[in-house]
């Protein structure tokens, strides 16, 4: 029985969570490695690109791989056309037009024109596809990673399910998905009451959108203190009756009843709070302390607070001084270090 090899990327720091979730996605999946925002896995059948979950940024079908990072792109191109499987791609994989991309340690890299042209010629000869450097077709990648691994691979196109590029300051679809899924893991709905998810500083609405997608039976509340953000979210969720959008301040959560929320998922300000419409002159530590107090009030017993922030020292200091959440610092899974757009951050889980 043939085996089909893939590498998937996800936000760095979430490899373990994404690998765990893959076991629920595809029957027979075998995760062989995970490192640096990447997961290597195989399947006993070709993966349907339309089945790729939103928490994965990209998935590549591996045509050829090398257990080294030392070879230059010119050598990978030279070897990649040989015994690479280009002539026998799974049905539906081969694009009619393509461009070639070169990635070293998660960054695109320019190569000599003769190297790029050589790669294009080899792919065209094997598949009959037409090179298109504007990128309207598929993408063949030559990848060099720091884990002593490199590959020639085809990026799988999700087609209509391809996520739109996030707005400036908005969490990517993959990151928002993993935050919500990690936050809700093992957190069961309470009998006799609706499952309620709150984002008290929802911004563009990425977290509420993911929450409503993954938990269709939940009631989702999206708040923000910025009037323009509230207006934009109301337009974004105009057809989604399960997401309620309104103006709100995460420091007090006025209008949210005591012990009425099962899960709070928040990406609060990291360090530009004074520039974002708050004018009392307090700083991030005061913001986090007030937020924790408000969260403790509205969470149900056994509820959970999930916070994504790059201001780790300030947030942990606020947790240490909070009478409800201070014990969470010693719990398993309290902090997961991740990267957000290349910036060091962490995801915190605090159970009430």
Residue 123 has pLDDT above 70, yes or no: yes
Say if CB 197 and CB 305 are below 8 A apart: no
Domain ranges of the chain: 4-161, 173-351
Can you read off the two tokens belonging to residue 23? 């076991």
Residue 162 has pLDDT above 60, yes or no: no
- Cα 78 from Cα 59, distance rounded (Å): 24
- Cα 261 from Cα 238, distance rounded (Å): 22
pTM for the whole thing? 0.86
Q: What is the mean pLDDT of residues 163-180?
A: 84
Q: What is the mean pLDDT of residues 339-345?
A: 89
- Cα 235 from Cα 352, distance rounded (Å): 33
Confidence category of residue 231, pLDDT binned at 50, 70, 90:
very high
Residue 240 has pLDDT above 50, yes or no: yes
List, in sequence order, every residue forming a beta bridge with 153; answer none if it has no partner.
62, 141
Res 170: pLDDT: 87
Res 86: pLDDT: 86
Confidence category of residue 101, pLDDT binned at 50, 70, 90:
very high
Can you read off the two tokens belonging to residue 139? 């993408």
Can you read off the two tokens belonging to residue 147? 């884990």
User: 173-351 is classed in which CATH architecture?
Assistant: 3-Layer(aba) Sandwich (3.40)
- Cα 275 from Cα 170, distance rounded (Å): 17
Q: What is the mean pLDDT of residues 239-249?
A: 93
Residues ≥6 apart with Cβ < 8 Å to 328:
319, 334, 348, 349, 350, 351
Res 193: pLDDT: 60
Higher confidence at residue 83 or residue 41?
41
Confidence category of residue 83, pLDDT binned at 50, 70, 90:
low
Q: What is the DSSP string of 89-131?
A: PPTTT--SEEEEEEEETTEE----HHHHHHHHHHHHHHH-PEE
Say if CB 176 and CB 203 are below 8 A apart: no
Angle among Cα 325, 329, 332 to the nearest 5 degrees reads: 115
Say if CB 231 and CB 166 are below 8 A apart: no
List, in sequence order, every residue forming a beta bridge with 154; answer none if it has no partner.
61, 140
CATH (residue range 4-161): 3.30.2130.30
- Cα 325 from Cα 261, distance rounded (Å): 16
Res 190: pLDDT: 47
């Amino acid at each position: 029985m043939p085996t089909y090899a893939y590498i998937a990327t996800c936000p760095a720091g979430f490899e373990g969570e994404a690998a765990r979730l893959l076991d629920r996605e595809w029957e027979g999946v075998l995760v062989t490695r995970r490192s640096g925002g990447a997961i290597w896995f195989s399947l006993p059948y070709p993966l349907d690109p339309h089945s790729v979950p939103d928490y994965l940024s990209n998935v590549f079908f591996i045509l050829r791989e090398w257990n080294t990072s030392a070879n230059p792109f010119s050598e990978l191109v030279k070897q990649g056309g040989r015994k690479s499987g280009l002539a026998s791609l799974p049905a539906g994989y081969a694009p009619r037009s393509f461009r070639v991309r070169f990635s070293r340690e998660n960054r695109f890299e320019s190569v000599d024109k003769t190297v790029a042209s050589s790669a294009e010629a080899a792919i065209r000869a094997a598949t009959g596809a037409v090179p298109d450097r504007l990128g309207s077709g598929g993408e063949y990648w030559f990848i060099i990673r720091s884990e002593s691994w490199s590959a020639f691979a085809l990026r799988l196109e999700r087609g209509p399910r391809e996520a739109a590029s996030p707005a400036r300051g908005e969490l990517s679809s993959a990151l928002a998905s993993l935050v919500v899924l990690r936050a809700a893991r093992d957190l069961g709905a309470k009998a006799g009451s609706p499952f309620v998810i709150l984002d008290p500083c929802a911004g563009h609405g990425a977290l509420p959108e993911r929450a409503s997608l993954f938990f269709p039976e939940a009631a989702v509340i999206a708040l923000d203190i910025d009037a323009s953000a509230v207006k934009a979210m109301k337009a974004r969720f105009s057809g989604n009756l399960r997401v309620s959008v309104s103006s709100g301040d995460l420091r007090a959560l006025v209008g949210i009843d005591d012990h009425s929320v099962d899960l709070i998922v928040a990406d609060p300000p990291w360090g530009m709070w004074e520039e974002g419409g708050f004018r009392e002159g307090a700083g991030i530590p005061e913001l986090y302390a007030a937020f924790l107090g408000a969260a403790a009030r509205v969470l149900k017993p056994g509820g959970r607070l999930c916070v994504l922030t790059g201001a780790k020292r300030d947030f942990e200091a606020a947790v240490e001084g909070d009478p409800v959440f201070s014990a969470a610092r010693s719990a398993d899974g309290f902090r997961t270090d991740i990267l957000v757009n290349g910036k060091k951050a962490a995801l915190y889980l605090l159970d009430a």
